[in-house]
Amino acid sequence: MTSPDRPLPPHRGHPVSASRRPLLAAVAAVGTLACLVSCSGGSGASQSTDASSGTYTFWDPYPQFDASSPWGELVTGCGKKAGVEVKRTAYDTTDLGNKALLAAQQGNAPDVMLVDNPVVSTLVEAGILNKTADLGLDTASIQKNIIGAGTIDGDSYGVPIGANTLALYYNKEILDAAGVDPAGITDWDSLTAALEKVKAAGKKGITFSAIGTEEGTFQFLPWFWGAGADLEDLDSDAGAAALSLWKGWVDDGLAPKSVLQNTQTTSWQEFAGGDYAFGENGTWQLGNAAEAGFEYGVVNIPSRAGGPAPVPTGGEFVTVPVQEDEARYDVSEKIVECLTSDENLLATDTTLMYVAPTAAVQARQVKTSTELRPWVDAVAAARGRTSGGLGSAYPTISEPLWTAVQTALSGTEDPQAALSAAQTSADKG
């Protein structure tokens, strides 16, 4: 966030990508091309004769929040503070990415847009997002691994409003009855041994989401990375070990076959039913955990050899799409600064059950909500899914990976063969 007496930002031209793809090709990287017909005609920004007033458009992936919600009121309030009216439109995550690409092609992109962090690199490659530095936005206080998900070739293209990630929730009553100390779960072997004790005690082991969507990849990544595997080498021995772990749990009855269809929501519902010892899920379930009716705890997902596994960061970035009328950027910048101020980050991240992207706000969160401590630690060790130079190549890797998980857990192919097919598909991507 910039100070009131900052120098005027430099000229803001359109962002340039040496390998820019046509916009329609970029649509496929965000989601399905089936949206090309039904998603045309976005409600982008009107070209105001006075950019300091009028209506500014804002898109986000929160259709669950209406105008009267704390989030809806915050967006409206930030517009008023900037001296404009904000017209907010909410879409589901995939639909938002597709509409953003098509609106940019048609020259009516929204003024400000909140997007899922893996989508940022695709939008940058399509040439439709401004650099935060060109907008005069200060991101120095943002945790490096969190902003890394929206950083391409050293430049950031948005400001994160927060992050979430994954850990293992556990049912304390079930573990106590099975004689399992959650503090002793430090690696794969100790976790599998705990699941076997739980099964022997007549309860169910672990539930997670292995569905054939990005949710499935998101949930598999801690085990994949925790084995030492790399997304650019899907069929490595380490990758096969991670998939074999999941398959072994399903085959041995330590995890249910329903994981193949489970979303993260339905997986949570299984855990919240009270029969499962463990549920892999995210920060966003903390409110539901408090209402589950049993005492719960949280432990880090263990890596294969011991210690916490790297987990993927979730969360959204506030971005400013390219506009023909560059005079509009000054107000858009004010809206972004308002949404990402310390006070508003604290309120937003409390509402969304996110971990704040700055150490200062994290400290305030933990002071008032001690249950966030393990999540702050998990986020600190997390990785962006598009980090490490993957950028817009990530979707061409993620889909083959979740397909391999489905293929192996269903018994169609063994883990090594499924991942070899995934690598072949990713290479063609």
- Of the listed ranges 32-41, 173-182, 207-216, the one predicted with least confidence: 32-41
In-domain check, residue 9: no
Residue 423 scores a pLDDT above 80: yes
- Strands 276-282 and 204-207: what pairing? parallel
Higher pLDDT, 351 or 260: 260
Q: Which helix (H) or strand (E) holds 123?
A: helix 117-125
- Strands 155-156 and 151-152: what pairing? antiparallel
In-domain check, residue 107: yes
- Are 350 and 396 in a shared domain? no
Alpha-carbon distance values, 217 to 27, 231, 248, 337 (Å) = 20, 11, 18, 32
DSSP letter for each residue of 267-283 = HHHHHHTT-EEEEEEEG
Q: Determine whether 313 is exposed, middle or buried from the number of CB atoms within 10 Å of its CB (0-12, 13-18, 19+).
A: buried
In-domain check, residue 111: yes
The values of phi and psi at residue 163, to 5°, are -140, 150
- Strands 296-299 and 204-207: what pairing? unpaired
- Of the listed ranges 22-26, 154-158, 174-178, 407-411, the one predicted with least confidence: 22-26
- Nearest-angstrom CA–CA distance, 142 and 415: 38
Question: Which two three-digit tokens encode residue 103?
Answer: 């609106």
Q: What single DSSP character describes residue 230? A: B
- Nearest-angstrom CA–CA distance, 274 and 175: 12
The pLDDT value given to residue 391: 86
Question: Which two three-digit tokens encode residue 351?
Answer: 């509402």
CA geometry: angle 116, 403, 264, nearest 5 deg:
50
- Are 184 and 42 in a shared domain? no
- Nearest-angstrom CA–CA distance, 153 and 28: 22
Residue 47 scores a pLDDT above 80: no
Among 159, 184, 148, residue whose Cα is nearest residue 318: 159
Q: What is the CATH number of the domain that holds 156?
A: 3.40.190.10
The pLDDT value given to residue 388: 80
- In 204-327, which ranges are continuous DSSP H helix? 214-226, 237-251, 264-272, 286-290
Residues written for the chain: 429
- Nearest-angstrom CA–CA distance, 31 and 53: 34
Q: Is-contact 94 361, C-beta < 8 A? A: no
- Nearest-angstrom CA–CA distance, 316 and 178: 39
Q: Is-contact 384 149, C-beta < 8 A? A: yes
- Are 233 and 95 in a shared domain? no
CA geometry: angle 213, 353, 288, nearest 5 deg:
80
Among 51, 131, 49, 53, residue whose Cα is nearest residue 320: 131
- Are 417 and 273 in a shared domain? yes
- Are 237 and 177 in a shared domain? yes
Query: Residue 360 CB: number of other CB atoms within 10 A?
Result: 11
In-domain check, residue 3: no
- Are 239 and 375 in a shared domain? no
In-domain check, residue 5: no
Residue 308 scores a pLDDT above 50: yes
Region 311-333: mean pLDDT is: 96
Q: Is-contact 87 32, C-beta < 8 A? A: no
In-domain check, residue 415: yes
The pLDDT tens digits for 213-264 are 999 999 999 999 999 999 999 999 999 999 999 999 999 999 999 999 999 9
- Are 352 and 398 in a shared domain? no
- Are 373 and 398 in a shared domain? no
The pLDDT tens digits for 117-136 are 988 998 999 999 999 999 99
- Nearest-angstrom CA–CA distance, 165 and 184: 22
The pLDDT value given to residue 155: 94
Q: Which domain holds residue 38?
A: 23-163+315-380
- Strands 204-207 and 159-160: what pairing? unpaired
Q: Is-contact 178 201, C-beta < 8 A? A: yes
DSSP letter for each residue of 277-338 = EEEEEEGGGHHHHHTSSS-EEEEPPBPSSSSBPP-B-B-EEEE-B--S-GGGHHHHHHHHHH
- Nearest-angstrom CA–CA distance, 335 and 86: 9
In-domain check, residue 145: yes
In-domain check, residue 86: yes
Alpha-carbon distance values, 67 to 40, 76, 264 (Å) = 24, 8, 26
Question: Over the chain, what is the mean pLDDT?
Answer: 88
- Are 125 and 45 in a shared domain? yes
Bridge partners of 159, per DSSP, are 318
Q: Is-contact 258 270, C-beta < 8 A? A: yes
- Are 75 and 33 in a shared domain? yes
- Nearest-angstrom CA–CA distance, 150 and 192: 36
Residue 17 scores a pLDDT above 70: no
Q: Is-contact 30 101, C-beta < 8 A? A: yes
- Are 299 and 334 in a shared domain? no
Instruction: Provide the number of structural domains found in the chain.
Output: 2
The letter for the amino acid at 414 is D
- Nearest-angstrom CA–CA distance, 231 and 394: 8
- Are 207 and 219 in a shared domain? yes
